[in-house]
Amino acid sequence: FFRLERFAMPIPKQHPCLRIWGKCASKNCAFANAPYDLCIHFAKGQCSFGDHCQQLHDSTYSWKEKPTACKFYMQGMCTKGLKCTFSHSEPKGKDTGPATLEPKLATQKQVACKFYLQGLCTKGLQCKFAHPDPDAKDVIRPAASQERAAKRMRLEELQHTAKAMSSGSFQKERLQADPVEAFIAAFSIADTGVVLSKPQQLREKLKNMRQLALEGNISFVVDFDHTISQYTCVETKGRGPTTHSIMEGSYTEDVRHKAKELQLKYYPKEIDPALSMDEKIYWMERWLREAHQLTIDAGITLQQLREAVVASGLVLRSQFEDFLHFAQQRKFSLLVFSAGIADIIEEIFKSRLTTAAHPEIFANKLKFDANGKVVGFHEPVHHVFNKRLSSYCQLNLNLENDAASRTQAADKQEWVIDTEGSVGLAQLETTEDKGVICIGDSLGDAEVVDVEVAECIRIGYLNTAVDERLGAFKEKFDIVLTGDRGFGPVLDLCYAACEFS
């Protein structure tokens, strides 16, 4: 995470204080000649990460106390921590005796630990402050100076936690700090390709999500094309395939050329920040209907579509299946809501996933005749700017109220593919008590959750034109992922919002 190369300056070989704080306030620092990547917490005997720590653990460099005692530390009020040039223990050779030492400890231990009262303290018996019953009437609350000292120590601990995290997903056993704060710290101070649009607002949303997760009220709504699927094509290094372009792989050369012309004509309108939403909806409607007519005219079959999926080279984003397992294991509902082709998404899951349980799919559904030939599409058509969760919820509500079975209703309006063993979302006909995590790659995907929910976190994959579109994405999404990132940061958020030890 922490690379000084981006500041165009050489990495020092010594002095870990420069790595942590950027400078050292002490002229006679005990770590001046220590390796640059030395773990100062280990040198103090306080590192809680063990073998998982990303910094150097070298017993040669142990904490050497300074000769003069810190008078502020003696009062429990020092705010300098490791940078303090005075000793944080009794000076050697000085007989403090019970009368001298006991008053300091008694005063410190009588003051309540602010983080313990919030359920966040990780120090246990080593904490310098008292851990009383929060409801006790005689609890001495921290003074303002002591609160500042505790806040500084807390920040240093969170930064150390963030530095020890790998670039992949959270590992539960390594999270010694509050997971919400660790997540915010990790992606606020590191150049990770992850942009937190409004960290304070996200912090509150994550805390709300944790409460909803305790009740099992978490649902995921995820786009497919260039969200679950990778944007960059592995072979050409250009724009990767979509479900529509895979279907076009079954076309003749003439029809494929026409489809390419449609893509070149309409895709720029999809991402044009100067167009209003009404204008975008108009152009997307035209694009889909013209593309669908090409498919019907091409006379392709289901078998041809399956062969096109195999030959497409489409790749799912890294760690998507880990994300799928996360939802399955915790019985959280997961819906793939796409403007793509439902039948092709189903074939991709069958060929790319190792698990038998696939997500439920709500997307454009093909009509086939008795010979497996495409003869049309079921209405209404879905594109990036009109797909809304309210339409799905209403369909589920209608099915719940209908005496006919779900299968019979699907014969009339085959929008939903509920594969065998799928992670269903049927409980979303009511959403007021749900926490929804919505993931997509277009500004339209940020508008998918148009129903009342208890909480919603929106994650956006910004795949192209990052400099031009980042501002608009930050307005719509709580978290923006750039650089064709996998589902690692999404898993990090899931652990922060939904995981409990």
pLDDT tens digits for range 260-272: 899 899 989 888 8
Least confident among 42-46, 85-89, 152-156, 287-291: 152-156
pLDDT at 134 over 70: no
Question: 191 pLDDT band (50/70/90 cuts)?
Answer: low
Mean pLDDT confidence for 286-297:
88
**Of 415, 411, 378, residue with least CA distance to 395:** 415
8 A C-beta contact, residue 164 and residue 52: yes
The whole-angstrom distance between residue 498's C-alpha and the CA centroid of its chain comes to 11
Per-domain residue ranges for the chain?
A: 1-64, 68-164, 212-498
Half-sphere exposure of 246 (CA within 13 A, CB side): 30
Residue 487, pLDDT score? 93
Structure tokens at 169: 């997903």
pLDDT band at 336 (very low <50, low <70, confident <90, very high): very high
344: helix, strand or coil: helix
pLDDT digits (tens, 9 = 90+) for 135-155: 565 666 555 545 555 555 555
Residue 61 pLDDT exceeds 70: yes
- Lowest mean per-residue pLDDT among 138-147, 166-175, 454-463: 166-175
Residue 411 has pLDDT above 80, yes or no: no
Mean pLDDT score, 83-93: 58
Q: Taking all residues of the chain, what is their mean pLDDT, rounded to a whole number?
A: 75
pLDDT computed for residue 179 by the predictor: 82
Phi (first) and psi of residue 115, to 5 degrees: -75, -30
Instruction: Please give the Cα distance from 255 to 396 (Å, whole number).
Output: 37
Average pLDDT over residues 168-175: 42
pLDDT value of residue 236: 76
> Is 461 within 8 Å of 227 (Cβ atoms)?
yes
What are 478's two structure tokens?
A: 């709580």
Q: For residues 295-308, give the mean pLDDT.
A: 89
Q: Which range, 37-51, 163-177, 465-479, has the best average confidence (pLDDT)? A: 465-479
How does residue 455 score in pLDDT terms, banded at 50, 70 and 90? very high
> Are 57 and 39 a contacting pair, CB within 8 Å?
yes
Q: What is the pLDDT of residue 190?
A: 56
Q: Going by CATH, does the domain composed of 212-498 fall within 3.40.50.1000?
A: yes
Which of the two residues, 129 and 25, has the higher pLDDT score? 129
| Angstrom distance (rounded) from CA 489 to CA 47 | 25
Of 111-120, 175-184, 205-214, 374-383, give the range with the top mean pLDDT: 205-214
Of the candidates 406, 301, 410, 310, which has an alpha carbon nearest to the alpha carbon of residue 350?
A: 310
Predicted confidence at residue 77, as pLDDT, reads 59
Cα(206)–Cα(380) distance, rounded to whole angstroms? 35
For residue 212, what are its two tokens? 């909803």
Is the distance from CB of 216 to CB of 192 less than 8 angstroms? no
Closest by alpha carbon to 425, among 444, 406, 404?
Answer: 406
Above 60 in pLDDT, residue 175? Answer: no
The pLDDT, as a whole number, for residue 478 is 95
Give SS3 for 406: helix
Instruction: Give the closest residue to 369 by CA, choosing from 292, 297, 419, 299.
Output: 299
pLDDT of residue 94: 44
What does the pLDDT read at residue 73?
65
Longest dimension (CA), the chain: 97
Rounded Cα–Cα distance for residues 378 and 420 (Å): 22
> What pLDDT does residue 74 have?
66
Q: What is the mean pLDDT of residues 41-61?
A: 74
Residue 202 has pLDDT above 90, yes or no: yes
- 406 pLDDT higher than 50: no
